[in-house]
Amino acid sequence: MAVSMKNVDPAFQGVGQKVGTDIWRIENFRPVPIPKSDYGKFYCGDSYIVLQTTATKSGAYHYDIHFWLGKDTSQDEAGTAAIKTVELDAALGGRAVQYRELQGHETDKFLSYFKPCIIPLEGGAASGFRKPEITKFEPRLYVCKGRRVVRVKQVPFARTSLNHDDVFVLDTESKVYQFNGASSNIQERAKSLEVVQYIKDEYHEGKCDIAVIDDGKLVAESDSGEFWALFGGFAPIGKKNGSDDDSRMESTPGKLYSIVEGEIKIVEGPLSKGMLESNKCYLLDCGAEVYVWVGRVTQLEERKSASLTAEEFISNQKRPRNTHITRVIQGFETLPFRSNFDSWSLGTGTSGSEDGRGKVAALLKQQGINVKGILKATPLKEEIPPLLEGNGKLEVWRVKNVSKAPVPKEDIGKFYSGDCYIILYTYHSGDRKEDYFLCFWLGKQSTQEDQAVAARLTNTMANSLKGRPVQGRILEGKEPPQFIGLFPNMAILKGGLSAGYKKYITEKGINDETYNGDGIALIQVCGTGPHNSKAIQVDPVAESLNSCDCFLLQTGTSLFAWHGNSSALEQQLSVARIAEFLKPGTLLKAVKEGTGQQHFGMHWEGNKAT
Segment 202-248, tens digit of pLDDT: 889 888 999 999 887 765 578 888 999 999 888 888 877 765 455 56
Q: Which of 551, 572, 495, 557 is nearest to 520 (CA)?
A: 557
Higher pLDDT pick, 291 / 573:
291
Q: Which amino acid is at 133?
A: E
- In sequence order, what are the beta bridge partners of 281? 259, 294
Do 23 and 123 belong to one domain?
Answer: yes
d(CA 361, CA 384): 18
Q: Is the pLDDT of residue 557 over 50?
A: yes
Do 215 and 313 belong to one domain?
Answer: no
Residue ranges making up the domain that contains 331: 250-339
Q: Is the pLDDT of residue 295 over 80?
A: yes
Phi, psi of 403 (to 5 degrees): -135, -165
Do 205 and 259 belong to one domain?
Answer: no
Higher pLDDT pick, 433 / 2:
433
pLDDT at 610 (0 to 100): 36
Do 525 and 501 belong to one domain?
Answer: no
Q: Is the pLDDT of residue 571 over 60?
A: yes
d(CA 149, CA 191): 8
By the 8 A CB rule, do 326 and 307 touch?
A: no
Query: In this structure, is residue 561 part of a structural domain?
Result: yes
The total number of structural domains that make up the chain: 5
Q: Is the pLDDT of residue 194 over 50?
A: yes
CATH number at residue 287: 3.40.20.10
Do 497 and 537 belong to one domain?
Answer: no
By the 8 A CB rule, do 336 and 254 touch?
A: no
Do 398 and 327 belong to one domain?
Answer: no
Q: 205, 238, 271 — which closes off a domain?
A: 238
Q: Which amino acid is at 1?
A: M
Do 106 and 27 belong to one domain?
Answer: yes
pLDDT at 333 (0 to 100): 86
Higher pLDDT pick, 469 / 145:
145
**How many Cα atoms within 13 Å fall on the side-chain side of residue 6?**
0
Do 462 and 496 belong to one domain?
Answer: yes
Do 101 and 38 belong to one domain?
Answer: yes
Query: In this structure, is residue 385 part of a structural domain?
Result: no
Q: Is the pLDDT of residue 151 over 70?
A: yes
Least confident of 63-72, 129-138, 302-311, 413-422: 129-138
pLDDT at 391 (0 to 100): 67
d(CA 86, CA 76): 16
- In sequence order, what are the beta bridge partners of 590? 561
Q: 488, 508, 528 — which closes off a domain?
A: 508
Query: In this structure, is residue 73 part of a structural domain?
Result: yes
pTM of the model: 0.53
Query: In this structure, is residue 369 part of a structural domain?
Result: no
Query: In this structure, is residue 380 part of a structural domain?
Result: no
First-residue to last-residue Cα distance in the chain: 47
Query: In this structure, is residue 375 part of a structural domain?
Result: no
By the 8 A CB rule, do 325 and 294 touch?
A: no
Q: Which amino acid is at 256?
A: L
Q: Which of 278, 283, 277, 279 is nearest to 255 (CA)?
A: 283
Q: 99, 127, 155 — which closes off a domain?
A: 127
Q: Which of 408, 393, 561, 421 is nearest to 486 (CA)?
A: 393
Do 582 and 559 belong to one domain?
Answer: yes
Given pLDDT bands bounded at 50, 70 and 90, which one contains residue 147? confident
pLDDT at 216 (0 to 100): 77
Strands 97-102 and 324-329: antiparallel
Q: Averaged over 524-537, what is the pLDDT?
A: 86
